[in-house]
């Protein structure tokens, strides 16, 4: 890997960590508080939400009732979901 590729990779990892730090773990983007949320969404003891398959979440997933959907990056959810206006990702 050359220096430019290393610098790019380092920048991408830093940006990913920064975006992760913004998340309040409310779970709204995964359906928390709705009738049929993602089956991989679990509430922690402190009231925050975590994804049980976060590292491999993108692509086909199922809701609690078994309905299939495509899990996408949160930026795609934010573009189409006006209910997430208070999401921390909208306010960096």
pLDDT tens-digit profile of 31-86?
Answer: 898 999 999 999 999 999 999 999 899 999 999 999 999 998 877 777 776 667 77
Domain that holds residue 75: 25-90
Q: Is residue 71 part of a domain?
A: yes
Q: Is residue 29 part of a domain?
A: yes
72, 78, 79, 81 alpha-carbon torsion, rounded to 10°: 100
Task: List the one residue out of 44, 60, 88 whose CA is nearest residue 29.
Answer: 88
* Mean of pLDDT values over 19-36: 86
Query: What's the number of domains the chain is made of?
Result: 1
Q: Is residue 62 part of a domain?
A: yes
pTM: 0.72
What the block records as the tokens of 23 is 């998340």
Task: List the one residue out of 77, 74, 80 whose CA is nearest residue 16.
Answer: 74
Q: Is residue 55 part of a domain?
A: yes
pLDDT at 91: 65
């Amino acid at each position: 890997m050359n220096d430019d590729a290393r610098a790019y990779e380092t920048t991408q990892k830093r940006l990913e960590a920064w975006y992760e730090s913004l998340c309040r773990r409310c779970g709204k983007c995964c359906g928390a508080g709705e009738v049929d949320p993602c089956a991989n969404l679990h509430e922690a003891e402190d009231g925050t939400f975590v994804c049980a398959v976060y590292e491999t979440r993108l692509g086909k997933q199922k809701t609690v009732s078994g309905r299939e959907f495509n899990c996408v990056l949160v930026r795609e959810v934010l573009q189409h979901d006006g209910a997430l206006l208070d999401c921390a990702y909208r306010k960096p």
